Amino acid sequence: MDFQLLKDSVYSTPAFVVDEIEVTRTLAVLTELKNQCGCKVLYSIKALPFSAVMEMAKPWVDGFSVSSLFEARLADEVLAGQGSIHLTTPGIRPDELDELSSLCSHISFNSLPQYQRYAETAGAQSSIGLRVNPKLSFLHDQRFDPCRQHSKLGVAIDELSRSICLDQIQGLHIHNVFSATDFTPLIETIDMLQQYLGIGLAELEWLNIGGGYLLGQIEDHRPFVELVNKLKQDYAIEVYIEPGKAVVGQAGHLVATVLDSFVSDGVTVIILDTSVNHNPEVFEYQRQPELHEHDPDGQYTAILAGCTCLAGDVFGQYRFKKPLEVGDKVVFKHVGAYTLIKANRFNGYNLPDIYLSNSLRVKKLKHYDYQDYRRQWVVEVRGEEQL
Ligand SMILES: *Cc1c(COP(=O)(O)O)cnc(C)c1O
């Protein structure tokens, strides 16, 4: 990506730019994986449920994975029957079950009570599975460890092996890592599954091994290919993966403009026309996003801050070759996943415009305006109408 060209082409900020070339590059890597081991690939749309991205992914993937009714509806609208839709969520509502099972080809129940309550009804239309908690933690931050103590995600593997005969279900679902850059967790997880369930796995039709692996950034795919081939050989099952961040993480960039610059306690503070509300994980997890203009050897230091009233609305401290000036643009790179979907209009600041960048051009696809904000917050009372 030529970031200078990108800055010259984006004519309104804040802007979230989807890099189509990068999405396609990752999808090609996933397709290569599919060819090597016959795994099935779903795009986990929660990372960025933007229809343009879903349309880009559609020809390459076997379907989408979703976590709610709205995601299932959107997945169905884009797929139009051309692929499978896998659902797992702790939050299945009784009033949504019928529609969920008509939309989703596969449903993995999150707990045994959820399974007992809904499997019979859902099983008439969907292939039924269970989400397993393999009780193997690979993440040091509990806030995103599905295998933490008292986890709410999945049936504990020991409990599952005690309470369920695998011929009662068609599949199992596991998801226990985030942003993993090698396959060690997967190998250990499958090992655990085999220890507990053994040849019982052959009763299943499918195994969904979740997302969480940055497949586009892992050089050596051989351990994965070997593992999947072995699973298919030993148990004659379909193996699904459902990456989210791997598909879009590198492929989204946030472009902002400098609105103000001043010195606070001896350090330059730059106010941008974006904020952590356009990238909430910066605040939630205190992560500092990559900045294109940052130069580790630069002699100028500045704190890049958002434009809202929250004191901690700060992206971090960066170094620059020359001082940033009002009107300059900056780019937070590789913030494609879990950014726009979590963005909000706190303080009344608008959501970013959405652009698409491909080999031909940079094009604006979406702009929100005051009417969108107003529709969310204004109660229209007409005449005598009562709420
Ligand atoms: C979030 C999630 C994914 C996608 O995770 P990434 O880290 O974005 O690859 C896949 N499956 C489940 C069950 C998830 O909760």
Whole-number pLDDT of residue 93? 98
C-alpha–C-alpha distance, residues 38 and 228, integer Å:
8
User: Could you tell me the pLDDT band of residue 381, with boundaries at 50, 70 and 90?
Assistant: confident
pLDDT at 294: 98
Q: Tell me how far CA of residue 61 lies from CA of 27, 54, 190, 261, 353, in angstroms.
A: 8, 10, 23, 46, 27
Mutate to test the pocket of ligand 1, among 27, 46, 133 (most ligand atoms within 8 A of CB): 46
Atom of ligand 1 nearest to the CA of 47: 8
> Of 104, 147, 165, 309, which one is the catalytic site residue?
309
Residues of the chain with CATH 2.40.37.10: 3-16+250-368
Q: What is the pLDDT of residues 282-318, one digit of tens each?
A: 999 999 999 999 999 999 999 999 999 999 999 999 9
CA 309 / ligand 1 centre spacing (Å): 32
- Residue with the nearest Cα to atom 15 of ligand 1? 175
pLDDT mean over 323-343 = 98
Say yes or no: CB of residue 154 within 6 Å of ligand 1: no
For residue 387, pLDDT over 80 is answered with no
pLDDT tens, residue by residue, 191-209: 999 999 999 999 999 999 9
Q: How far is residue 173's CA from residue 157's CA, in Å, rounded to a whole number?
A: 11
- Is residue 104 part of the annotated active site? The answer reads no
Ligand 1 mutation target, pool 175, 209, 247, 340, most atoms within 8 A of CB? 175
pTM listed for this prediction: 0.96
Helix (H/G/I), strand (E/B), else coil: 225: helix
Closest C-alpha to ligand 1, atom 3: 211
Tell me the per-residue pLDDT of 255-284, one tens digit each, with 9 for 90 and over. Answer: 999 999 999 999 999 999 999 999 999 999
CB of residue 178 inside a 6 A radius of ligand 1: yes
User: 189, 134 in Cβ contact below 8 A?
Assistant: yes
Q: Give the integer Cα–Cα distance in Å for 52 and 50.
A: 6
Cβ-Cβ contacts under 8 Å for 109 (sequence gap 6 or more): 88, 92, 115, 118, 119, 128, 129, 130, 131
Amino acid present at 353 = D
- Contact 86/175 with Cβ under 8 angstroms? no
Instruction: Indicate if ligand 1 lies below 6 Å from the C-beta of 86.
Output: no
Question: What does residue 350 show for φ and ψ, rounded to 5 degrees?
Answer: -65, 160
CA separation for the pair 184, 245 (Å, rounded): 19
Instruction: Give the confidence band of 382 by pLDDT, cuts at 50, 70, 90.
Output: confident
d(CA 108, ligand 1 centre) in Å: 14
Q: Does domain 49-243 have CATH number 3.20.20.10?
A: yes
Give all strands (DSSP E) within 137-247, no chain letters.
155-156, 171-173, 206-208, 238-241
Per-residue confidence at 369, pLDDT binned at 50, 70, 90? very high
* Structural tokens at position 24: 């396609």
pLDDT confidence of residue 140: 86
In this prediction, residue 386 has a pLDDT band, given cuts at 50, 70 and 90, of: low
CATH code given to domain 3-16+250-368: 2.40.37.10
- The per-residue b/e assignment along 269-294, b for 16 or more CB within 10 angstroms, e otherwise, is bbbbbbbbbbbbbbbeeeeebebbbb
Question: pLDDT tens for residues 220-250?
Answer: 999 999 999 999 999 999 999 999 999 999 9
Minimum-distance ligand 1 atom for the alpha carbon of 178: 7
* DSSP three-state, residue 194: helix
CATH 3.20.20.10 domain range(s) in the chain? 49-243
